[in-house]
Chains A and B, each alone.
Chain A
Amino acid sequence: NAGVTQTPKFQVLKTGQSMTLQCAQDMNHEYMSWYRQDPGMGLRLIHYSVGAGITDQGEVPNGYNVSRSTTEDFPLRLLSAAPSQTSVYFCASRARGGPGANVLTFGAGSRLTVL
C-alpha cells in the first residue's frame, strides 16, 4: 500500500516554462488536494477535488490548473512558471466518511525552484 505518491521530488524550471506535478493515491480516497508550503506561512490550499470530474479552488489558485479524470490521480499544472511559485508542494487525500474522514494523508512533497 503506497499511500500518496508524488513525482518528481525535485524540479528546477526557468521562468515561463510549464510542468506538471503528478499525484496518485491507492486508497480509493474521494477527496484530493494540493498545498504549497512556504517558510513562515504553513501550508496553503491551492486546489482540491471531492471526486472524479469535480475540482475547486482553494486559497491560492492563481497560476495553477488541476484536473481529476480518475479517482486515483490529481495532477497539478503550472502553465507559465514564475519565481513566486518556488515552493514545496504537497498532495494530500482523505476518505469521504468513516474513521478516516477529515484525516489527510500526505505525500512526501515535491520541491520546485523557478529561476
Chain B
Amino acid sequence: AQSVTQLGSHVSVSEGALVLLRCNYSSSVPPYLFWYVQYPNQGLQLLLKYTSAATLVKGINGFEAEFKKSETSFHLTKPSAHMSDAAEYFCAVTTTEGGLRFGAGTRLTVKP
C-alpha cells in the first residue's frame, strides 16, 4: 500500500528565510508524488508534481521539490519565504486505485 508521512505538523519561519517541508513516502510501485497547498477556507491547489521525469521539480510561487528514491523523500523547499506563503501544505502519493493518499499536512507560519 502507498503512504505518506509529513514530518512536522507546524513549521514557523521568518520572512525571507528558507522554507523546508518534509515528506517521506512508501510505495510498492514507482510513485507519482504531489504537493498541494490549501489557503484558509479554500480547496487544495496543486503546487507541483513528480511523474518520473526530472527528479528536481519546479512548481508555482517559487517552490520546488526533489525526488530522492534512496531516501524515499520528496521534500518541498523555497529559498525565501513570503508572508503570502502562510498556508497548509499536503504531500500526496498516487494509489493503485488511481486516487491520492495524503499526508496529515504541515501548517506553515511566516513571521514578519
- Residues of A participating in the B interface, judged by any CB pair closer than 8 Å: 4, 31, 33, 35, 40-45, 48, 50, 56, 58-59, 90, 92, 102-104, 106-109
A107 touches B51 (CB 8 A): no
Question: Is there contact, CB below 8 Å, between A50 and B90?
Answer: no
Say whether A102 contacts B32, CB under 8 Å.
yes
> In the complex, what residues of B have CB within 8 A of residue A48's CB?
97-99
Among B12-20, B38-46, B76-84, the stretch that binds chain A is B38-46
A-contacting residues, B40-82, CB 8 Å: 41-46, 49, 51
The answer, among A45, A90, A103, A107, for a CB contact under 8 Å with B99, is A45
Give 1 or 0 for each of B74-112: 1 = CB within 8 Å of chain A CB.
000000000000000010001001111111110000000
Question: Which of the residues B45, B98, B100 comes within 8 Å of A50, measured between beta carbons?
Answer: B98
Interface centre among B45, B94, B99 (most CB of A within 10 A): B99
Distance of A58 from chain B, by nearest CB (Å): 7
Contacts of B9 in A (CB 8 A): 40
CA distance A82 to B86 in the complex (A): 33
Cβ-Cβ contact count across A and B, 8 Å cutoff: 55
Q: A90-B43, A103-B46 are in contact. Are A42 and B97 (CB under 8 A)?
A: no
A108 touches B99 (CB 8 A): no
CB distance from B55 to the nearest CB of A (A): 17
Chain B residues with Cβ under 8 A from A102's Cβ?
32, 34, 49, 51, 94
| Besides the known contacts A40-B9, A104-B44, 8 further A-B residue pairs in the complex with CB atoms under 8 A apart | A40-B105, A42-B90, A42-B105, A45-B99, A106-B43, A106-B44, A107-B43, A109-B41
